[in-house]
Structure 1
Amino acid sequence: MTETGNPSQPANVHEYSGSHIQVLEGHEAIRKRPGMYIGSTGERGLHQMVYEVVSCAVDEHLAGHADVIDVTLTADGGVRVADNGRGLPVDVQGPGGKSGVERRLTEFFFGSKPHTGYRVSGGLGGVGLYVVNALSSRLMVEVHRDGHRWTQEYEEGDPVTALTRNEETGEHGTAIAFLPDASIFEATHHSFATLSERLQELAFLNPGLTISLTDERPERPVRHRHTDGLRAYVAHLNPYPPSLVHSPAIAFESENQDATICVQVAMQWNTWSTGAFHSFANSTRSHEGGAHELGFRTALTDIVNRYARQQGHLSASDEDITTTAVHTGLTAVVSVKIAHPVYEGSTRTKLANPEANAYVQETVREHLTDWLDHHPSEATAIIHHILDTAT
């Protein structure tokens, strides 16, 4: 990152030279412009710090090495995130003589590397731990790996102790405890409700993963685990059974041949709401939508119209049902896990991968068509609901 002079002073082209360019390296750049990495220095950014550390633990789960994540809001205002994955590498790597732990916490690491076992990576895609460390006044990392417990401490992104090998242990996993820097954040009080909602969301998106949240300010623990995945998520979003057009929710998933993209979908119509659509890319909410949302909406509208005409609910002279009518009263969750996500903008809330559009369309067309053919009474109820909405 570079900065050029004082904007309050008038520019003098004759005095402008290379000496006026200030170069910020490493965590200095992150501390100078935190919003570029976590969105803001308000509550949103404060919680994003937690999500980035949790995301690294979720990556371990997706790679098949962790099934429990424990998040604790500590009494001193900090956060501790622990998982039972493989543990960050403790061996020395590269010419700088840094351990794998220190490199993850002090260097930019973009994308998934094959030897890590990560096919997909959420959050900031490897930069998350570095950013959290840089924006914390204190950080302690504890690793259970290679038969020992290892610890190291940091202040404002810099190591203040060496990676230390402690007592022997048969456990495995990583625990990171950090205290957000009060000189950077506008407030440092974490919302239990906000974090609980997001952690429950992650449990829905990753069946078989248990995520707990404990508040030591006073203690108020919750535990999230949902083996039924997105179907359970839709049931959570549709809390009024009498209003359901059909039950249970429609749910399906598919993975492409080279395992670079996995699509999960759950959907259910109701009569009480205007509709709710939630999309995710690598377990991160796509607030601005993107390719996967477009693929879902396109395929769904086409399938509903084709089925309605095949079954005689629409005549040849009738106009097609609109996308708006199809989505009225629909609660749907679409989640893609993709090896090489491409986002529009730095907020990572709009997915741009064209292959996500194509594969979501393919998956929805195949599985939803099959479901409608095998559930004619529920399919008829859905079409009648949509046609009533349209009129």
Structure 2
Amino acid sequence: MAETGNPSQSANGHEYTASHIQVLETHEAIRRRPGMYIGSTGERGLHQMVYEVVLYAVDEHLAGHADAIDVTLTSDGCVRVTDNGRGVPVEVKEPGGKSAVERELTEPSFGSGPHTGYRVSGGLNGVGLCVVNALSNRLTAEVHRDGHRWTQAYEKGIPVTLLTRNEETDQHGTTIAFWPDADIFETTHLSFAALSERLQELAFLNGGLTISLTDERPERPVRYHHTDGLRAYVDRLKPYPPSLVHSPAIAFESENQDETISVQAAMQWNTWSQGEFRSFANGTRTHEGGMHEQGFRTALTDVVNHYARRQGHLSANDEDITATAVQEGLTAVISVKLAHPVFEGATRTKLGNLDAGAYVHEVVSQHLTDWLHRHPHEATAILRRILNTAI
């Protein structure tokens, strides 16, 4: 990262020289402009630090190598995240070079995934751990891999110890413990409620993954594990008292032939509430939507109208049912995972991948159409609910 001197001086010509250019080390650049990387230095940015480390562990789960993540908030302000994956690689490629652990914690890759080469990555496109390290007063990495326990310590993004090989072990996995820097953040107090909500969300999005959260300030452990995935998520989001048009929720998933995009979706109509819709991309909530949402909503409206006309609920002269009527009373969750996500803005709240929108439209059209034909009684009840809204 480079910064320049006063622009007015450069306008005078000879006063602007190479001496005005300041080259910052990666950790210095991150510490100087933290909002560019985690959105803010308030509570939102503080919690994003935790999510970045957790999402790195989720990547191990998505790669098929981890099924448990433990998050602990300690009494001295530390956040400790442990997974039972393979462990971050520890080898050094060149003589005298950095270990793979140190590269993960100090070098941003800005690629489609971290240095360890995940096909799908949920963090900040390869810079997550690097950012967390730079914005922490202290950070320790403990890796169980290659028959030993390995450790290394950092301060404000700078290694203060070498990667050390310790005793032999047959365990595997990674533990990242960090203390957010009070000189960077407006507060270093983490909300148990906010973390609990987000971690449960990740458990819904990644069926079969167990995520535990323990707060030692005082102690209050919770554990999340949902084998039913998004269908369980929809069940949690449904209004109370429930008044369902059909049960269970419609759920399906699919992955494209190139294995670059996968889609999971679940939806359920109820009779009285307005409903709720949530979308995610690589585990991150896309509050502003994006192409995957657009593909879902368009396909949903198209399928309902096509089915209604084929079943005689709409005549040739009737206008199409509106998207608003179709979505009234619908609780739905859609989650896409992409090898090459394109997010709009540093806070990653809107997905811009055109191919994601097209694939979601294709998947929803195929699977929802098939479900409606295989469940005619439930389909009729859904259409009746929608048509009553449209009147």
Shorter-normalised TM range: over 0.9
Measure the CA separation in 1 of the matches of 2:311 and 2:122.
Answer: 42
1:13 aligns with 2:5: no
Aligned equivalents of 1:307 and 1:57: distance in 2? Answer: 42
Measured in 2, the distance between the counterparts of 1:112 and 1:176 equals: 22
Look up the match of 1:350.
Answer: 350
* Conserved 8 A contact 2:69-2:212: yes
What does residue 97 of structure 2 align with?
A: 97
Asked if residue 293 in structure 1 is aligned to residue 293 in structure 2, the reply is: yes
Q: Which moved more, 1:321-330 or 1:183-192?
A: 321-330
Alignment of 1:194-343 (within 5 A): 194-240=194-240, 242-343=242-343
| Deviations 1:337-364, CA, capped at 9 Å, x for gaps | 1111112222222111111111111111
Q: Structure 1 counterpart of 2:49, which letter?
A: M
What pairs up with 1:112-123 in 2 under 5 angstroms? 112=112, 116=116, 118-123=118-123
Which structure 2 residue ranges, 5 or more long, are not aligned? none
Once the two structures are overlaid, the 10-residue window that deviates more, 50-59 or 118-127, is 118-127
Contact 1:111-1:121 within 8 A present in 2 as well: no
Distance 1:320 1:173, change over 3 A: same
Q: Which residue of 1 aligns with 2:158?
A: 158
1:113, CA displacement in angstroms?
A: 6.2
Work out the CA distance in 1 between the residues paired with 2:280 and 2:150: 35
| 3-state SS, counterpart of residue 93 of structure 1 | coil
| 1:267–1:140 distance in 2 versus 1, CA, 3 Å | same
Residue 27 of structure 1 corresponds to 27
In structure 1, give the amino acid aligned to 2:165: R
State the partner residue of 2:139. 139
2:83 is aligned with 1:83: yes
| Map of 1:388 onto structure 2 | 388
2:365 aligned with 1:365: yes
Q: Distance in 1 between matches of 2:114 and 2:287?
A: 29
Deviation per CA, 1:268-325, whole angstroms, max 9, x where unpaired? 1113321211111111111111111111011000011111111121122211111111
Task: Give 1:238 shift.
Answer: 0.6
For 1:92, what is the secondary structure of its paired residue?
coil
Alignment of 1:40-59 (within 5 A): 40-59=40-59
CA offsets 1:247-288 (integer angstroms, 9 cap, x no match): 110000111112111110100111332121111111111111
TM-score (structure 1 length as normaliser): 0.96
Offset of residue 23 of structure 1:
2.3
- 1:186 has 2:208 as partner: no
Distance (whole Å) between structure 2 residues aligned to residue 231 and residue 291 of structure 1 = 22
Cα distance in 2 between the residues matched to 1:180 and 1:114: 22
**How far apart, CA to CA, are the structure 2 residues paired with 1:244 and 1:261?**
31
Aligned-pair identity in percent equals 78
Q: 1:94 offset after TM fit, Å? A: 3.5
Q: Which amino acid aligns with 2:35?
A: G
Gap runs ≥5 in structure 1: none
For 2:333 and 2:17, how far apart are their aligned partners in 1?
A: 54
Distance in structure 2 (CA, Å) of the matches to 1:173 and 1:289 = 34
Aligned partners of 1:329 and 1:301: how far apart in 2?
14
- The alpha carbon displacement at 1:21 in A equals 2.6
Cα contact 1:63–1:117 (8 A) shared by 2: no
Distance (Å, rounded) in 1 between the aligned partners of 2:95 and 2:306: 62
Q: Output the amino acid matched with 1:194.
A: A
The CA deviation at 1:117 is 5.7
SS in structure 2 of the partner of residue 352 of structure 1: coil
Q: What secondary structure, in the 3-state scheme, does the structure 2 residue paired with 1:51 have?
A: helix
8 Å Cα contact 1:85-1:172 kept in structure 2: yes
d(CA) in 2 for partners of 1:113 and 1:281? Answer: 14
Matched residue SS, 2:337:
strand
Q: Distance in 2 between matches of 1:54 and 1:35?
A: 20
Deviation (angstroms), 1:4: 3.0
One-letter code of the match for 1:110? Answer: F
Over aligned residue pairs, what C-alpha RMSD do you find?
Answer: 1.7
- Amino acid aligned to 1:171: Q
Cα distance in 2, alignment partners of residues 166 and 81 from structure 1: 20
Distance 2:273 2:17 in 1: 61
Matched, 1:177 2:172: no
Partners of 1:132 and 1:115 in 2: how far apart? 16
Q: Distance in 2 between matches of 1:112 and 1:90?
A: 21
